[in-house]
Amino acid sequence: MKNLISLLAAAALLPAMPAWAAAPDDAAGLWMTAENDAVIRFAPCADRAASLCGQIVWDKDAGTPADTCGVQIARLERYENEAWRDGWVYDPRDKKKYKGVVRIKSGDDLHIRAFLGVEILGKTEQLKRVPAVPAAPACKP
């Protein structure tokens, strides 16, 4: 009975604990696609540090005709409501630009939402944070 009371008391405190909240800098870093076929580096844009840019820095097809190394896949101008917004994302598979939103979920998951018109009508790609770019095949600098 004593354990049950302790468990109930601990459960009552859970809503009072702050939830994990993303910050603008949380998107910076290296992110592996769900298919494990590319790594994207997100960082402040070179020409506008207040914006977020994403570029492919590793591609499993590096050195082949399907190579996408160096392709910029995102440029988002504003961080608001725990998401990067007001810009575009590029899908190298269909070679199209879309409106885009980037969100960090729980620190190690990045969600890229690409859409036409309104966000609810889009598609989300989930990426995982990685500590480094795989050694091979290497993108040419």
- Among all chains, which residue has been given the structure tokens 């770019």? 133
- Across 4-25, b (16+ Cβ under 10 Å) vs e yields eeeeeeeeeeeeeeeeeebebe
**Token pair listed for 78:** 């504003």
Can you give the pTM of this predicted structure?
A: 0.82
pLDDT tens, position by position, 24-36: 889 999 999 999 9
Q: How many CA atoms lie within 13 A of 73 on its CB side?
A: 26
6 has pLDDT over 50? no
CA proximity to 126, closest of 25, 31, 20? 31
8-12, 46-50, 131-135: lowest mean pLDDT where?
8-12
20 has pLDDT over 60? no
CA proximity to 59, closest of 78, 28, 32? 32
6-20, 76-90, 124-138: lowest mean pLDDT where?
6-20
Q: Would residue 110 be called left, alpha or beta, if left means φ above 0 and alpha means ψ between -120 and 50 degrees? A: beta
| DSSP tag of 108 | T
Q: How confident is the model at residue 21 (pLDDT cuts 50, 70, 90)?
A: low
3 state DSSP class of 82:
coil
Instruction: Write down the pLDDT at residue 4.
Output: 39
pLDDT tens, position by position, 43-101: 999 999 999 999 999 999 999 999 999 999 999 999 999 999 999 999 998 999 999 99
132 has pLDDT over 90? yes
